Amino acid sequence: MVYADGYSEASLDRLSINKCVWVALAAATRQSKNYARLPIGERAGIEILGLLAAVWDAAARQDIAFCEMTLQRVMDSLPPEDTDNSIDVIIAENCLLSLAYALRCQTNGVKKEAHWALMKAYDAADQIALILWRSKNGESFAEAEIRAMPVVQRELANQAAAFDTAFSSSESEGLALLESAAFAVEFATPNEWLALAS
Protein backbone atom coordinates (compact mmCIF):
# COMPACT_ATOMS: atom_id res chain seq x y z
CA MET A 1 0.00 0.00 0.00
CA VAL A 2 1.24 3.51 -0.82
CA TYR A 3 1.02 5.58 2.36
CA ALA A 4 2.95 8.69 1.36
CA ASP A 5 2.06 10.95 -1.52
CA GLY A 6 3.24 9.69 -4.87
CA TYR A 7 5.53 12.70 -5.08
CA SER A 8 6.40 15.89 -3.25
CA GLU A 9 6.77 19.45 -4.42
CA ALA A 10 10.46 19.15 -3.56
CA SER A 11 10.65 16.34 -6.13
CA LEU A 12 9.45 18.74 -8.81
CA ASP A 13 12.20 21.20 -7.92
CA ARG A 14 14.76 18.50 -8.71
CA LEU A 15 13.37 17.90 -12.21
CA SER A 16 13.98 19.93 -15.33
CA ILE A 17 11.03 21.99 -16.53
CA ASN A 18 10.61 19.56 -19.46
CA LYS A 19 10.30 16.60 -17.12
CA CYS A 20 7.84 18.52 -14.92
CA VAL A 21 5.68 19.07 -18.00
CA TRP A 22 5.86 15.39 -18.92
CA VAL A 23 4.97 14.19 -15.41
CA ALA A 24 2.01 16.60 -15.44
CA LEU A 25 0.92 15.44 -18.89
CA ALA A 26 1.10 11.86 -17.67
CA ALA A 27 -1.39 12.74 -14.91
CA ALA A 28 -3.88 14.04 -17.49
CA THR A 29 -3.24 11.13 -19.83
CA ARG A 30 -3.95 8.50 -17.16
CA GLN A 31 -7.43 10.04 -16.74
CA SER A 32 -8.12 10.32 -20.46
CA LYS A 33 -9.62 6.85 -21.10
CA ASN A 34 -12.34 7.55 -18.54
CA TYR A 35 -12.92 11.03 -19.96
CA ALA A 36 -13.21 9.52 -23.43
CA ARG A 37 -16.17 7.41 -22.24
CA LEU A 38 -18.17 10.47 -21.23
CA PRO A 39 -20.87 12.10 -23.38
CA ILE A 40 -19.79 15.43 -21.84
CA GLY A 41 -16.57 15.21 -23.85
CA GLU A 42 -18.45 14.92 -27.12
CA ARG A 43 -20.56 17.97 -26.24
CA ALA A 44 -17.42 19.93 -25.46
CA GLY A 45 -15.98 19.05 -28.85
CA ILE A 46 -12.80 17.52 -27.43
CA GLU A 47 -11.62 14.11 -28.60
CA ILE A 48 -9.31 13.72 -25.63
CA LEU A 49 -7.08 10.84 -26.74
CA GLY A 50 -6.21 12.49 -30.05
CA LEU A 51 -5.74 15.85 -28.36
CA LEU A 52 -3.35 14.37 -25.80
CA ALA A 53 -1.33 12.67 -28.53
CA ALA A 54 -0.97 16.07 -30.21
CA VAL A 55 0.00 17.72 -26.92
CA TRP A 56 2.70 15.13 -26.22
CA ASP A 57 4.03 15.78 -29.73
CA ALA A 58 3.98 19.54 -29.09
CA ALA A 59 5.80 19.01 -25.78
CA ALA A 60 8.52 17.08 -27.61
CA ARG A 61 8.92 19.98 -30.03
CA GLN A 62 8.42 22.59 -27.27
CA ASP A 63 5.76 24.18 -29.47
CA ILE A 64 4.60 26.91 -27.10
CA ALA A 65 2.17 28.45 -29.61
CA PHE A 66 0.30 25.15 -29.99
CA CYS A 67 0.21 24.68 -26.21
CA GLU A 68 -1.18 28.19 -25.68
CA MET A 69 -3.88 27.62 -28.30
CA THR A 70 -4.75 24.23 -26.81
CA LEU A 71 -4.86 25.65 -23.28
CA GLN A 72 -7.56 28.10 -24.35
CA ARG A 73 -9.51 25.29 -26.00
CA VAL A 74 -9.28 23.16 -22.86
CA MET A 75 -10.39 26.02 -20.60
CA ASP A 76 -13.34 26.72 -22.89
CA SER A 77 -14.34 23.05 -22.62
CA LEU A 78 -14.51 22.89 -18.82
CA PRO A 79 -17.98 22.10 -17.47
CA PRO A 80 -19.81 25.31 -16.46
CA GLU A 81 -19.57 26.15 -12.77
CA ASP A 82 -23.31 25.65 -12.27
CA THR A 83 -23.22 22.10 -13.70
CA ASP A 84 -24.48 19.37 -11.36
CA ASN A 85 -21.58 17.74 -9.55
CA SER A 86 -22.13 14.26 -11.04
CA ILE A 87 -19.33 11.73 -11.41
CA ASP A 88 -19.21 12.53 -15.14
CA VAL A 89 -18.55 16.18 -14.36
CA ILE A 90 -15.97 15.33 -11.69
CA ILE A 91 -14.05 13.07 -14.08
CA ALA A 92 -14.23 15.56 -16.96
CA GLU A 93 -13.25 18.56 -14.87
CA ASN A 94 -10.27 16.92 -13.18
CA CYS A 95 -8.94 15.48 -16.44
CA LEU A 96 -9.23 18.82 -18.25
CA LEU A 97 -7.74 20.74 -15.32
CA SER A 98 -4.79 18.35 -15.12
CA LEU A 99 -4.22 18.96 -18.83
CA ALA A 100 -4.62 22.72 -18.40
CA TYR A 101 -2.01 22.82 -15.63
CA ALA A 102 0.37 20.71 -17.72
CA LEU A 103 -0.05 23.12 -20.63
CA ARG A 104 0.49 26.09 -18.33
CA CYS A 105 3.67 24.46 -17.04
CA GLN A 106 4.85 24.21 -20.64
CA THR A 107 3.92 27.78 -21.54
CA ASN A 108 5.02 29.65 -18.42
CA GLY A 109 7.80 27.40 -17.14
CA VAL A 110 6.46 27.36 -13.57
CA LYS A 111 7.01 23.97 -11.94
CA LYS A 112 4.21 24.53 -9.42
CA GLU A 113 1.74 24.06 -12.30
CA ALA A 114 2.83 20.41 -12.49
CA HIS A 115 1.97 20.03 -8.80
CA TRP A 116 -1.59 21.19 -9.51
CA ALA A 117 -1.91 18.76 -12.43
CA LEU A 118 -0.97 15.90 -10.12
CA MET A 119 -3.29 17.13 -7.38
CA LYS A 120 -6.23 17.15 -9.80
CA ALA A 121 -5.47 13.53 -10.72
CA TYR A 122 -5.43 12.65 -7.02
CA ASP A 123 -8.70 14.55 -6.51
CA ALA A 124 -10.32 12.51 -9.29
CA ALA A 125 -9.19 9.23 -7.73
CA ASP A 126 -10.38 10.40 -4.31
CA GLN A 127 -13.84 11.33 -5.62
CA ILE A 128 -14.20 8.03 -7.47
CA ALA A 129 -13.15 6.17 -4.31
CA LEU A 130 -15.74 8.05 -2.26
CA ILE A 131 -18.54 7.10 -4.63
CA LEU A 132 -17.44 3.45 -4.76
CA TRP A 133 -17.14 3.34 -0.96
CA ARG A 134 -20.56 4.85 -0.37
CA SER A 135 -22.23 2.45 -2.81
CA LYS A 136 -21.08 -0.49 -0.67
CA ASN A 137 -20.64 0.90 2.82
CA GLY A 138 -22.83 3.97 3.22
CA GLU A 139 -21.83 7.48 4.20
CA SER A 140 -19.56 6.67 7.16
CA PHE A 141 -15.85 6.43 6.33
CA ALA A 142 -12.39 7.33 7.56
CA GLU A 143 -9.92 9.10 5.30
CA ALA A 144 -7.56 6.13 5.66
CA GLU A 145 -10.25 3.86 4.23
CA ILE A 146 -10.70 6.06 1.17
CA ARG A 147 -6.94 6.37 0.71
CA ALA A 148 -6.67 2.57 0.79
CA MET A 149 -9.19 2.14 -2.05
CA PRO A 150 -7.59 0.60 -5.18
CA VAL A 151 -8.28 3.61 -7.42
CA VAL A 152 -6.44 5.96 -5.03
CA GLN A 153 -3.59 3.53 -4.41
CA ARG A 154 -3.21 3.00 -8.15
CA GLU A 155 -2.94 6.74 -8.84
CA LEU A 156 -0.45 7.29 -6.02
CA ALA A 157 1.64 4.39 -7.30
CA ASN A 158 1.46 5.72 -10.86
CA GLN A 159 2.55 9.17 -9.72
CA ALA A 160 5.48 7.63 -7.84
CA ALA A 161 6.39 5.53 -10.89
CA ALA A 162 6.28 8.62 -13.14
CA PHE A 163 8.71 10.39 -10.85
CA ASP A 164 10.99 7.34 -10.74
CA THR A 165 11.00 7.32 -14.55
CA ALA A 166 11.66 11.06 -14.73
CA PHE A 167 14.58 10.84 -12.29
CA SER A 168 16.14 7.73 -13.82
CA SER A 169 15.81 8.56 -17.53
CA SER A 170 17.65 11.01 -19.71
CA GLU A 171 15.93 13.98 -21.32
CA SER A 172 16.10 12.19 -24.65
CA GLU A 173 14.24 9.09 -23.45
CA GLY A 174 12.08 10.42 -20.60
CA LEU A 175 9.21 11.78 -22.69
CA ALA A 176 8.67 8.55 -24.65
CA LEU A 177 8.78 6.42 -21.48
CA LEU A 178 6.35 8.63 -19.56
CA GLU A 179 3.96 8.95 -22.50
CA SER A 180 3.77 5.22 -23.22
CA ALA A 181 3.31 4.34 -19.54
CA ALA A 182 0.55 6.95 -19.08
CA PHE A 183 -1.46 5.73 -22.07
CA ALA A 184 -1.03 2.09 -20.97
CA VAL A 185 -2.61 2.31 -17.50
CA GLU A 186 -6.22 2.46 -16.38
CA PHE A 187 -7.36 5.20 -14.03
CA ALA A 188 -10.72 3.67 -13.12
CA THR A 189 -10.81 0.04 -14.24
CA PRO A 190 -13.72 -1.36 -16.29
CA ASN A 191 -15.21 -2.92 -13.15
CA GLU A 192 -14.90 0.34 -11.22
CA TRP A 193 -16.43 2.19 -14.17
CA LEU A 194 -19.40 -0.18 -14.18
CA ALA A 195 -19.85 0.33 -10.45
CA LEU A 196 -19.76 4.11 -10.91
CA ALA A 197 -22.46 3.92 -13.58
CA SER A 198 -24.80 1.77 -11.49
Q: Which pLDDT tens digit goes with each residue over 97-131?
A: 999 999 999 999 999 999 999 999 999 999 999 99
Residues near 11 by Cβ (< 8 Å), separated by ≥ 6? 163
Q: What is the pLDDT of residue 81?
A: 80
**Which string of b and e fits 101-116 if b means at least 16 CB within 10 Å?**
bbbbbbbeeebebbbb
* pLDDT, tens digit, 9 for 90 and up, residues 48-81: 999 999 999 999 999 999 999 999 999 998 888 8
User: Are 158 and 122 in contact, with CB atoms under 8 Å apart?
Assistant: no
Contact 33, 184 (CB under 8 A): no
Q: Which long-range contacts (CB under 8 A, 24 or more apart) does 126-134 make?
A: 126/152, 127/87, 127/90, 127/94, 128/87, 128/90, 128/91, 128/188, 128/192, 128/196, 131/87, 131/196, 132/192, 132/195, 132/196
Contact 179, 22 (CB under 8 A): yes
Rounded CA separation 110/5 (Å): 21
pLDDT for residue 43 is more than 80: no
